[in-house]
Amino acid sequence: MSGYDHALKYWYPVAMADELDTGQSKHTKLLNTDIVVSRSNDERLDVNAAGKSLAVQHAYGHAWTTFSDTPYPLFAIPESSEQERRFVPCGVVRVSCSPLRAVENFLDIAHFPFVHTGVLGSEPHTEVYKYDVKIDETVDEVFATNIKFFQPQASKSAEGGIETEYIYRVPAPMAAVLYKTCPPKPECLDVIALFVQPLDEETCDVWPWMALYDDTSSMADLIQFQQLIFVQDRSILENQMPRKLPIDPGHEIPTKADLTSIAYRRWLKKRGAYYGAFERS
Amino acid sequence: MTITLYNYVLSGNCYKIRLLASLLDINYETIAVDFHPGQEHKSKALLKLNPAGTLPILVTDGHVFTETKDMLTWLAQHHDQSNTWWPANNSDQLTRVVQWLEFSSRLSATIGELRLNSMLNKAIDVEAAKHGSKICLRELESHLTEQRIKGIQWLSGDNPTVADVACFPYTALSPDAGIEHDDYPSIRSWLHALRSLDNFLTMPGIHELHELKSTQKISP
Ligand SMILES: [Fe+2]
């Protein structure tokens, strides 16, 4: 089965749930196919491809669609039902890179001090301490746990530098969910997710979404904090060569900090998720 | 006197104000405006402040500025003891500063729009913007080359001015819009000179000089 056929079986975000006024539509792309997203009424968005209407569901602030009649279920994010959290869809950023590279970059902590200097990392705090990575066989997801890192400004709500704890979760080839220390509520974890809409194998639209405990920051502040970070990544992502993500072992030499990245690539290979992947011919 | 900047972190025009304020060590407050995805700059409250519906907006005692060029000029006139960033005492240089301030609008209208298209999916005439961007960069390159031959590092003379600050962001950010700097050696050296200034300020897509090395190191 080719990577394309495999990719067809997932749900993908194509709009924010509250995007478009009634009667409006927009043209976009999903897995090399032109699609139209439109709003026929207040309740829901419709998605069409070549005149055929596709399945749509609304979840985590976005409208999701799939080409499959028998898709894998959309992964669960249980925190999305905790009503005290603030749910923050951050809009869309387009990146000229493989959708898999966008996810992989999100999982990499070693770049924080260099790319997100003064925010998510700083010199000389560049060391990545030992952490655990595993494939959870029951749900078939990648998990990285026990990640600890010094961050000058871990989130909009952080006052000064703190040791931040991270848990990463990859629930689908083109989605990643991060759980991190919540500065105003240390007993809880903030949730930051990256939902990727693959336009084709070398271009993607990235929809960050957050579920936070933060009663003080304005919505604009929260969104801009996340956009600032993601656009810092964008210029790095667009310069990575090849544009597709190499998933054969040994193609790129990962450093010891890239444990999550190695696990992610192996997991993609094992399940045949080759859409956006670079294979040695 | 309080200075308030209505700001969007990814906007090159807002960055012009942040950059000059940093270079001149001016204190100011920011109010984050949800430009994307919220389109807050087109909201009733902000249209009341700036009917043009653009960012940035700068509010100081008694003034509401909505044009970036006016903001830069006003900040330099009132906060630059050296009188060099707005060279009021050098009419020849001042004329050139005004010309290059005007030129900066063309950079916003071409590279700025192309960047919004390639990053935030803004609907524009892409081919026209690409063409316009390259014309602007070639014009800037040829001027900076002439300056270099004369031994002059900056756009209008021997010192950096608001014109350099105004032309810097979208020129530096053109790779965001898919236009690399490889073909423009004089532009590269001018960008480098700006980034070497004391109190230089970065934004996403514009790195500090030492930082660039580090990021190059981690990109495979
Ligand atoms: Fe990053």
> How high is the ipTM of this complex?
0.90
| Same domain as A20, residue A82 | no
Please state, rounded to an integer, the average pLDDT across all residues of chain B.
94
Give residue B220's pLDDT band: very low, low, confident or very high (50, 70, 90). very low
Structure confidence by residue, pLDDT tens digits, A13-43:
999 999 999 999 999 999 999 999 999 888 8
The answer to whether residues A58 and A183 touch, using CB atoms and an 8 Å cutoff, is no
Residue A77 has what pLDDT?
98
Separation of alpha carbons A125 and A262, rounded Å: 23
Separation of alpha carbons A44 and A225, rounded Å: 29
| Same domain as A127, residue A55 | no
Q: Which of A125, A232, A258 best probes binding to B when mutated, by most B CB atoms within 10 angstroms? A: A232
| Same domain as A139, residue A62 | no
Please state, rounded to an integer, the average pLDDT across all residues of chain A.
92
Separation of CA B155 from chain center: 14
DSSP per residue over A85-121, as a string?
SEEEE---EEESS-HHHHHHHHH--TTHHHHSBTTTB
Separation of alpha carbons A247 and A225, rounded Å: 31
A89, A94, A239 ranked by CB distance to B119: nearest: A94
| Same domain as A266, residue A206 | yes
Look at residue A4 and tell me if it is in a domain. Answer: no
Look at residue A177 and tell me if it is in a domain. Answer: yes
Contact at CB, A238 and B33, closer than 8 angstroms: no
Look at residue A2 and tell me if it is in a domain. Answer: no
Structure confidence by residue, pLDDT tens digits, B166-196:
999 999 999 999 999 999 999 999 999 999 9
Angle value at C-alpha A238, between A235 and A241, nearest 5 degrees: 130
Q: How far is A224 from chain B (nearest CA, A)?
A: 6
Q: Provide the token pair at A78.
A: 């249980």
Residue A254, pLDDT > 70, answer no
Residue B62, pLDDT > 90, answer no
Residue A228 has what DSSP assignment?
Answer: H
Separation of alpha carbons A214 and B201, rounded Å: 28
Question: Cis link prior to B204 (omega < 30° from 0)?
Answer: no
Contact at CB, B217 and A227, closer than 8 angstroms: no
Residue B30, pLDDT > 70, answer yes
Q: Provide the token pair at B185.
A: 């050696």
Separation of alpha carbons A228 and A230, rounded Å: 6
Contact at CB, B119 and A231, closer than 8 angstroms: yes
Exposure letters B50-60 (e unless 16+ CB within 10 A, then b): beeebbbbbbb
Name which of A240-254, B55-69, B87-101 the model is least confident about: A240-254
Q: Which residue of A has its CA nearest to B175?
A: A235
Overall domain count for chain A: 2
Residue A149 has what pLDDT?
86
Choosing from A21, A52, A74, the residue where a domain stops is A74
CATH assignment of B4-79, among 1.10.260.40, 3.30.70.1900, 3.40.30.10, 3.90.226.10: 3.40.30.10
Place of tokens 């952080």: A158
Q: Which of B6, B7, B8, B9 best probes binding to A when mutated, by most A CB atoms within 10 angstroms? A: B9
B33, B37, B119 ranked by CB distance to A16: nearest: B37
Residue B103, pLDDT > 50, answer yes
Place of tokens 């900056």: B154
Give residue B218's pLDDT band: very low, low, confident or very high (50, 70, 90). very low
B133: left (phi over 0), alpha (psi -120 to 50) or beta: alpha
For residue A29, give every residue at least 6 positions away whose Cβ sits within 8 Å of its Cβ, in sequence order, or none.
A35, A199, A200
Indicate which CATH number applies to the domain containing A179: 3.90.380.10
Structure confidence by residue, pLDDT tens digits, A133-175:
999 989 999 999 999 988 999 999 988 888 899 999 999 999 9
Structural domain boundaries of chain B? 4-79, 91-211
Contact at CB, A220 and B34, closer than 8 angstroms: yes
SS3 sequence, chain B? CCEEEEECCCCHHHHHHHHHHHHCCCCCEEEECCCCCCCHHHCHHHHHHCCCCCCCEEEECCEEECCHHHHHHHHHHHHCCCCCCCCCCCHHHHHHHHHHHHHHHHHHHHHHHHHHHHHHCCCCCHHHHHHHHHHHHHHHHHHHHHHHHCCCCCCCCCCCCHHHHHHHHHHHCHHHHCCCCCCCHHHHHHHHHHHCCCCCCCECCECCHHHHHHHHHHCC
Chains A and B: how many Cβ contacts under 8 Å?
79
Ligand 1 centroid–CA B214 distance in Å is 14
Separation of alpha carbons A71 and A161, rounded Å: 43
The class (CATH top level) of B91-211 is: mainly alpha
The answer to whether residues A247 and A98 touch, using CB atoms and an 8 Å cutoff, is no
Q: Which residue of A has its CA nearest to B35?
A: A220
Name which of A121-130, A195-204, B154-163 the model is least confident about: A121-130
Contact at CB, B121 and A239, closer than 8 angstroms: no
| Same domain as A43, residue A91 | no
Q: How far is B215 from chain A (nearest CA, A)?
A: 6
Separation of alpha carbons B59 and B65, rounded Å: 6
Exposure letters A247-257 (e unless 16+ CB within 10 A, then b): beeeebebeeb
Residue A17 has what pLDDT?
96
| Same domain as A17, residue A30 | yes
Choosing from A74, A97, A119, the residue where a domain stops is A74
Domain that holds residue A28: 9-74
Question: How confident is the model over A72-98, as a mean pLDDT?
Answer: 97
Look at residue A37 and tell me if it is in a domain. Answer: yes
- CA distances to A48, A198, B102, B119 from A34, in Å: 9, 12, 40, 19
Tell me the pTM.
Answer: 0.93
Residue B212, pLDDT > 60, answer no
Indicate which CATH number applies to the domain containing A22: 2.20.25.680
For residue A78, give every residue at least 6 positions away whose Cβ sits within 8 Å of its Cβ, in sequence order, or none.
none
Separation of alpha carbons A254 and B166, rounded Å: 41
